[in-house]
């Protein structure tokens, strides 16, 4: 049963990922990506990662909702009424990505992964919570600082030119 | 379920994302490719935690870090696209090639 669930989630995740670059509409591409992310989040639930799986799903759904807005703002043909192809070096990209997949798959299948040490804790969510609050506190502090920096940097970059603009006003 | 299966899924997601990041011209689509690649990394990290060392929280914390990296990538990517678009009306990578000159 679990294997069947995993395979169907895996097929949805990869299939929707491929669809992102095949569909003609930006909005559809965004929803395909969201679907792929949701499938990955559900696959994490198979690994007993209740918290991280749900966080992944929630974050991605929100992220894609925002992305859809940007998509429609920046892209021509958001509705997908005409064929859309904006690619360069398709053959090279395809060859490279197939090569990367084959080598990663070979590593995954041929490496003798170590034996499992220990067992899954009673409550993995509690384990990660105490982890980031005790032994991995530095990670938490670092991530907090980075996220705050990101907020400031993103605003500075994307805000319309302000009084700090040397040239004065829009060009 | 074995780690091999999950790592194969991770490899497939990573490769699809790589294809998108390399072949697309629109900056927004390139970012979608990057997101797919990071998604593959999330799957791989989670499966290592589960199948190799589930007793320690290290693997889970790594997944948290990767998710944060994904948000940062998204926010900064859109900020840069917005800046480019404001300054030059550029929304594809080929339109923003000043550094080549």
The string of pLDDT tens digits covering residues B48-92 is 999 999 999 999 999 999 999 999 999 998 888 888 888 777 777
Backbone angles phi, psi at B26, to 5 degrees: -75, 135
A170 vs B46: CB contact, 8 Å cut-off? no
B10, B13, B57: residue with CB nearest A128: B57
B4, B42, B60: residue with CB nearest A131: B60
With vertex at residue A137, the alpha carbon angle to CA A113 and CA B43, rounded to the nearest 5 degrees, is 35
The answer to whether the predicted template modeling score (pTM) of the entire model surpasses 0.75 is: yes
Say what the pLDDT of residue B8 is.
96
What's the Cα-to-Cα distance from A120 to each of A115, A123, B47, B92, rounded to whole Å? 14, 8, 12, 46
Estimate to the nearest angstrom the gap between the alpha carbon of B74 and the chain centroid. Answer: 9
Say what the pLDDT of residue A171 is.
47
Mean pLDDT of chain B: 89
For residues B49 and A46, the answer to whether their CB atoms sit within 8 Å is: no
As a whole number of angstroms, the distance between CA B12 and CA A106 comes to 12
B42 touches chain A (CB under 8 A): yes
If one counts every other C-beta atom within 10 angstroms of the C-beta of residue A88, the result is: 13
The secondary structure of residue A79, as a DSSP letter, is: T
**B residues 58-97 near A, CB within 8 Å?**
58, 60-61, 63-65, 67-68, 70-72, 74-76, 78-83, 85-87, 91-92, 94
B7 touches chain A (CB under 8 A): yes
- Chain B positions in Cβ-Cβ contact with residue A147 (cut-off 8 Å): 68, 71-72
For residues B32 and A19, the answer to whether their CB atoms sit within 8 Å is: no
Say what the pLDDT of residue A164 is.
57
Lowest average pLDDT, out of A7-16, B2-11, B76-85, goes to B76-85
Among B3, B4, B53, B61, pick the best mutation site for testing chain A contact (most A Cβ within 10 A).
Answer: B61
C-alpha torsion angle, residues A62, B59, A140, A43 (rounded to 10): 10
B64 vs A143: CB contact, 8 Å cut-off? yes
Residue B92, beta-bridge partner list: B26
Looking at the complex, report in whole angstroms how far the Cα of residue B95 sits from the nearest Cα belonging to chain A: 12
The chain B residue lying nearest A118, using CA atoms, is: B55
Which two structure tokens, joined as six digits, stand for A110? 């041929």
């Amino acid at each position: 049963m679990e294997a069947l669930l995993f395979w169907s989630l895996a097929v949805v995740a990869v299939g929707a990922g491929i669809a992102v670059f095949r569909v003609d509409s930006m909005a559809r591409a965004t929803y395909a990506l969201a679907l792929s992310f949701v499938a990955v989040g559900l696959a994490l639930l198979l690994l007993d990662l209740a918290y991280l799986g749900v966080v992944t799903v929630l974050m991605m759904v929100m992220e894609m909702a925002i992305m859809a807005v940007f998509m429609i703002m920046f892209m021509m043909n958001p509705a997908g009424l005409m064929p859309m192809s904006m690619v360069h070096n398709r053959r090279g990209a395809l060859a490279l990505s197939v090569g990367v997949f084959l080598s990663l798959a070979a590593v995954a299948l041929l490496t003798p992964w170590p034996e499992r040490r220990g067992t899954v804790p009673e409550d993995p969510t509690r384990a990660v919570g105490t982890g980031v609050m005790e032994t991995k506190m530095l990670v938490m502090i670092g991530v907090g600082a980075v996220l705050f920096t990101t907020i400031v940097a993103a605003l500075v970059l994307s805000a319309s030119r302000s009084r700090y603009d040397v040239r004065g006003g829009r060009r | 379920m074995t780690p091999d299966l999950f790592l194969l899924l991770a490899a497939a997601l990573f490769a699809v994302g790589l294809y998108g990041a390399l072949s697309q011209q629109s900056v927004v689509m390139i970012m979608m490719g990057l997101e797919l690649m990071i998604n593959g990394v999330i799957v791989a990290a989670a499966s290592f935690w589960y199948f190799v060392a589930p007793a320690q929280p290290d693997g889970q914390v790594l997944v948290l870090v990767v998710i944060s990296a994904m948000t940062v990538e998204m926010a900064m990517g859109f900020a840069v696209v917005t800046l480019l678009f404001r300054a030059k009306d550029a929304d594809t990578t080929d339109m923003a090639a000043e550094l080549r000159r």
